[in-house]
Amino acid sequence: MTSAAILQVTLYLLAVLILAVPLGWYMAKVYEQKPCGMDWICLPITRFIYRISGIHPDSEVSWKGYLSSMLIFNGFGIVLVYFIQRIQFYLPLNPQGFTGISPDLAFNTATSFVTNTDWQAYTPEASMSYLTQMLAFTVQNFLSAATGMSLLIAMIRGMVRHETDKLGNFWVDTIRGTVYILLPLSFVLAIFLASQGVIQNVKPYQTIHTLQREQQILPMGPVASQVAIKQLGTNGGGYFNANAAHPFENPTPLSNFLEMMAILLIPVGLCITFGIMVRDKRQGFALLITMFLVYLPCVFLSIAVEQKGNPAFTQLGVDQTSARNLMSGGNMEGKETRFGIVNSSLWSTLTTATSNGSVNAMQDSFMPLGGLMPLWLMHLGEVVFGGVGSGLMGMLLLVILTVFVAGLMVGRTPEYLGKKIEPFEMKMASIGVLVMPLAVLILTGFASVNHMGTDSLLNKGAHGLSEILYAFTSMVNNNGSAFAGLNANTVFYNVAGGIAMLIGRYWIAIPALAIAGSLARKKVIPVGAGTLPTHTLLFIFLLISVIIILGALTFFPALALGPIVEHLLLWDQYGH
């Protein structure tokens, strides 16, 4: 790996930190309903929404009430997005006259966008109208992201409050997150992206004449507005099938940098928000350091593997010198020359460290170990930064497990932020941690031995297994990226994928809220001589160990049969 690659990654992460710290402070003010500098414009909007919706902003509910509100809201969203797709032919803003979407695909896509997954088993520019893209998908990009942030805030309140069963108001948290945070950030980013050439219009598709005197149809649409929130909300669904590799979505190196910044901005900022809301900034920085220490080896290994190149060049019938020259350029298959290997590898690891899922290169064309890194980051539960809200929520479940393990080691009742961690919290945390790997492995195993799963493969053997494993890992983790060699638009993958996305979103949110409700009812225990500090390097090391051990023990056999054996076979055949 070159020094230029290290410098690029370092400067990018520094820029994210510089912007995320004030954003984290701002988000804490928003959710604590303190003056934040945007009240002059946002407060009248939120009050208007409360009034027309019948919301009482001062009322609070228990964790069960909070959960019920979230499930009702998301359930209504799934139904609405489903029916918009089904009847889009009869709705306005459909200049291409696209017909309604099939029931299984509409179900898959509706659950995808409401759960913040944005898995796309269709070609957007060839099947979805402007109204569907805006009213169904872009709106859910905002609301699903705001939902994830609200769930995290409720969990933080449970850790901070004591001797109460109130966790806040889901409707208030979601509205404030949308109006105060997501809308202003998306507006600013969309303006910058439009200045770089990202299109924003509702024109009919344009027919142009190429230099070869042939006709080509260029798709149009309101792209900049959707791209902004898809990145900021770690949604990831592309307006075009090529996603952020499409020049209308991501035309320049500067637009690429801005979109990568947007992917990480809120997840990193929420760590700062966490530290402020629990009244101990060290706790937030400890979690942030943990995430960076896990992430950095993954991104640098991915870059190094892709820069090393493909040993199959030695079989092209050229001399050894020419083969070495070809390999020295690295593996550029499936990558845009305007971004190169470093920005493509950085993006692929960012998009799976978070639950973003967008791509600016085709990950199916990465080298086996280059594709292993984004896959493994998802196998960790996407807690290394993770989706907006959901990532830090998952990390806090692992923190509870780590505190419990540490308590067993020293023979003390485990505590976190002054609250005892007892059997109920451990049961809920265990469910939250185990749901994802169980769902991924069961669905992958079934698809791998059933013709309904294998008939969709364009590649057989180890790489075919990797494609299936990646698909279900992506869907259960609410990520949305894919190895492109799998045809996922079948009844089996649409239905199984929709169920997987529902499991991945709600069967982790439910135990997390249950833990929050339990902790909120407890008394605060004063810090004593035997209390384990949870902001030190020792605790960070313990937390990293738990994250890696869980990921490695759960998924290593599957990875060994997929990308690892593919790497060994490739270099055994061509690497001499």
pLDDT in tens, 262-302: 999 999 999 999 999 999 999 999 999 999 999 999 999 99
**Helix ranges (DSSP H) in 280-422:** 281-308, 320-328, 340-353, 368-379, 390-410
Q: Look at residue 363 and tell me whether its pLDDT is greater than 80.
A: yes
Task: Report how far residue 82's alpha carbon sits from residue 63's, in angstroms, rounded to the nearest whole number.
Answer: 28
Bridge-based pairing state of the strands 215-218 and 206-209: antiparallel
Q: Specify if 368 maps to a domain.
A: no
Angle at 436 between CA 389 and CA 388, to 5 degrees: 10
Grouping H, G, I as helix, E, B as strand and the rest as coil, residue 429 is helix
Q: Please provide the DSSP assignment of 180-220 as one string.
A: IIIHHHHHHHHHHHHHTT--B--PPPEEEE-TTS-EEEEP-
The answer to whether 520 and 157 have CB atoms below 8 angstroms apart is yes
Averaged pLDDT for residues 233-245: 93
pLDDT of residue 461: 85
What is the pLDDT confidence band of residue 381, given thresholds at 50, 70 and 90? confident
Q: Specify if 183 maps to a domain.
A: yes
Q: Specify if 323 maps to a domain.
A: no
Averaged pLDDT for residues 74-82: 97
DSSP state of 502: H
Q: Going along 210-289, which residue ranges are E strands? A: 215-218
Domain range for 246: 24-282
What is the pLDDT confidence band of residue 91, given thresholds at 50, 70 and 90? very high
Q: Look at residue 566 and tell me whether its pLDDT is greater than 90.
A: no
Q: 247 is written with which tokens?
A: 């020049």
What is the pLDDT confidence band of residue 232, given thresholds at 50, 70 and 90? very high
Following CA atoms 528, 533, 535, 540 in sequence, which dihedral angle do they give, to the nearest 10 degrees? -170
Task: Look up residue 503 and give its amino acid.
Answer: I
Q: Specify if 292 maps to a domain.
A: no
Q: Specify if 385 maps to a domain.
A: no
Grouping H, G, I as helix, E, B as strand and the rest as coil, residue 168 is strand
pLDDT of residue 317: 55
The answer to whether 402 and 539 have CB atoms below 8 angstroms apart is yes
Task: Report how far residue 467's alpha carbon sits from residue 255's, in angstroms, rounded to the nearest whole number.
Answer: 29
Q: Look at residue 202 and tell me whether its pLDDT is greater than 80.
A: yes
Q: Specify if 310 maps to a domain.
A: no
Q: 566 is written with which tokens?
A: 């593919």
Find the distance separating the first CA and the last CA of the chain, reported in whole Å.
21
Q: 360 is written with which tokens?
A: 């600016």
Task: Report how far residue 112's alpha carbon sits from residue 403's, in angstroms, rounded to the nearest whole number.
Answer: 34
Averaged pLDDT for residues 485-508: 94
Q: Specify if 95 maps to a domain.
A: yes
Q: Look at residue 74 and tell me whether its pLDDT is greater than 90.
A: yes
Q: Look at residue 324 and tell me whether its pLDDT is greater than 70.
A: no
Angle at 168 between CA 167 and CA 169, to 5 degrees: 135
Q: Specify if 315 maps to a domain.
A: no
Grouping H, G, I as helix, E, B as strand and the rest as coil, residue 102 is coil
Q: 81 is written with which tokens?
A: 């997005």
**Range of lowest pLDDT (104-113, 407-416, 450-459, 548-557):** 407-416
Averaged pLDDT for residues 543-556: 89
Q: 261 is written with which tokens?
A: 């910044």
Q: 208 is written with which tokens?
A: 């142009």
Q: 306 is written with which tokens?
A: 């892709």
Phi, psi of 222, rounded to the nearest 5 degrees: -80, 80
Pick the closest to residue 23 from 280, 143, 294, 15 (CA basis): 15
Tally of CA atoms within 13 A in the half-sphere of 397 that contains its CB: 32
Task: Report how far residue 399's alpha carbon sits from residue 534's, in angstroms, rounded to the nearest whole number.
Answer: 9
Task: Report how far residue 252's alpha carbon sits from residue 494's, in angstroms, rounded to the nearest whole number.
Answer: 34
Task: Report how far residue 7's alpha carbon sits from residue 284's, in angstroms, rounded to the nearest whole number.
Answer: 26
Average pLDDT over the chain reads 92
pLDDT of residue 475: 95
Q: Look at residue 323 and tell me whether its pLDDT is greater than 70.
A: no
Pick the closest to residue 477 from 378, 576, 394, 400 (CA basis): 378
Does 413 or 135 have the greater pLDDT score? 135
Number of separate helices (H) and strands (E) present in the chain: 21, 4
Q: Look at residue 109 and tell me whether its pLDDT is greater than 80.
A: yes
pLDDT of residue 61: 96
Number of domains in the chain: 1
Q: Look at residue 315 and tell me whether its pLDDT is greater than 80.
A: no
pLDDT of residue 573: 76
What is the pLDDT confidence band of residue 31, given thresholds at 50, 70 and 90? very high
Cα 20 from chain centre: 17
Pick the closest to residue 231 from 264, 199, 188 (CA basis): 264
Pick the closest to residue 136 from 154, 168, 111 (CA basis): 111
Task: Report how far residue 432's alpha carbon sits from residue 397's, in angstroms, rounded to the nearest whole number.
Answer: 7
Angle at 507 between CA 503 and CA 511, to 5 degrees: 175
